[in-house]
Amino acid sequence: MRKSMIKFSMGLAMAATLFSGVASAEEGAMNGDVANGKKIFTEGKGVAPPCMTCHGENGWGTEAMGAPRLANLGYPYIVKQLTDLAEGRRTPSGPGAVMPLFAQQLSPQDRRDLSAYVNSLNTKPDLSDLAGIKAGGQPVGERYKGEAIALYGISGKVSACQSCHGYNGRGAAPVFPVIGQQKYTYLVNQLHNWRDQSRANDPYGMMRAIAKNLTDDDIINVAAYLAWAPRETPGNGLVPETTR
Ligand code: HEC
Ligand code: HEC
């Protein structure tokens, strides 16, 4: 009895710390200047080129570069990533290795402005061309197998992605980003990065704990499913109001 009480209050304390960090990011939503965000996104700042050269004019990412969709991923999540990138907590390799330098060109207010801008984009989804990627020689997984992982997890090994990221990965702000309808190549890269711990900016190691039990096949299967996963709940054509 006592033991479980301690466990319970530790859980509460953990949740409190987790949310106090992001609460301050959320307050920034009030000061996000969309016009300044747009200016930097389209014109760049300092040595950072326009963000849209890699993240796309509409914020839907670029497959070949492994550049993610930024449109509507969640305001506090984007603020956190730009801060982590600028402060050395996230150090990508490959084409994204330039991101820390670019994030350092931005003031804390710029980061909030950019996040407010990309979160305001109501652009048409530009989803990964899975057939084209496969034709280009990159392995593409099987969507029905990935759907099982996203919705139910792998028994005894991996929690369902939706238990944190929301149905079909549509996001649960402030902590859990949108991963549904994210670019396929980016999803595959990040799952590998979490698994080999080269990305380690996840609160409490939550994603590293998930990814360490995913096989290469699980990764391409779940990425193939998520890249096209609809936001809508089946049987209900309404897109739910999320807190992002
Ligand atoms: C030269 C191409 C390039 C430019 C220009 C660029 N980015 Fe990126 N960005 C990337 C790539 C590639 C990644 C993926 C990094 C990785 O693999 O972890 C990335 C990752 C990010 C992420 C992390 C997103 C997530 O889902 O976690 C954010 C946020 C971001 N960029 C914002 C920006 C902003 C803001 C600008 C403009 C100031 C910008 N980027 C300019 C290529 C670019
Ligand atoms: C226990 C909660 C939890 C579960 C379950 C979970 N995730 Fe995550 N995931 C997170 C958190 C927290 C983050 C944000 C990390 C950060 O702040 O950088 C994240 C981030 C990610 C990212 C990076 C998104 C981006 O834009 O860079 C991907 C990809 C991802 N998760 C995929 C998955 C997949 C696939 C599954 C199911 C196999 C899954 N997650 C299950 C907690 C979870």
Cβ atoms of 174 and 205 within 8 Å: the answer is: no
Candidates 231, 227, 217; CA nearest to 145 is 217
- Residue 126 predicted with pLDDT over 60: yes
Residues with CB under 6 A from ligand 1: 40, 48-49, 51, 53-55, 65-68, 70, 73, 78, 81-82, 92, 95-96, 98-99, 102, 114, 189
Decide: 216 and 224 in contact? Cβ < 8 Å: no
Cα–Cα distance measured from residue 144 to residue 155, given in angstroms and rounded to the nearest whole number: 16
- The HSE-up count of residue 98 (CA atoms within 13 Å, CB side) is 11
- Tell me: the pLDDT tens digits for 11-70? 444 444 444 444 444 444 446 999 999 999 999 999 999 999 999 999 999 999 999 999
Query: Which of the listed residues 75, 80, 99, 114 should we mutate to test ligand 1's pocket, taking the one with most ligand atoms within 8 A of CB?
Result: 99
Determine the atom of ligand 2 nearest the C-alpha atom of 150.
37
User: Whose atoms come closest to the Cα of 82: which ligand?
Assistant: 1
Please report the pLDDT score of residue 8 as a whole number.
41
Cα separation, 202 vs 34, in Å, equals 27
Asked if 199 and 92 touch (Cβ cutoff 8 Å), the reply is yes
> To the nearest whole number, what is the mean pLDDT of the chain?
88
What count of other Cβ atoms lies within 10 Å of the Cβ of residue 36? 18
Nearest alpha-carbon partner for 176 in 60, 82, 73: 73
**What percentage of the chain has pLDDT greater than the value 90?**
80
Distance 61 CA to ligand 1 centre (A): 9
How do residues 134-185 score in pLDDT, each as one tens digit?
A: 999 999 999 999 999 999 999 999 999 999 999 999 999 899 999 999 999 9
Structure tokens at 121: 């984009």
| Res 93 pLDDT > 50 | yes
d(CA 234, CA 2): 42
d(CA 219, CA 240) in angstroms, rounded, equals 27
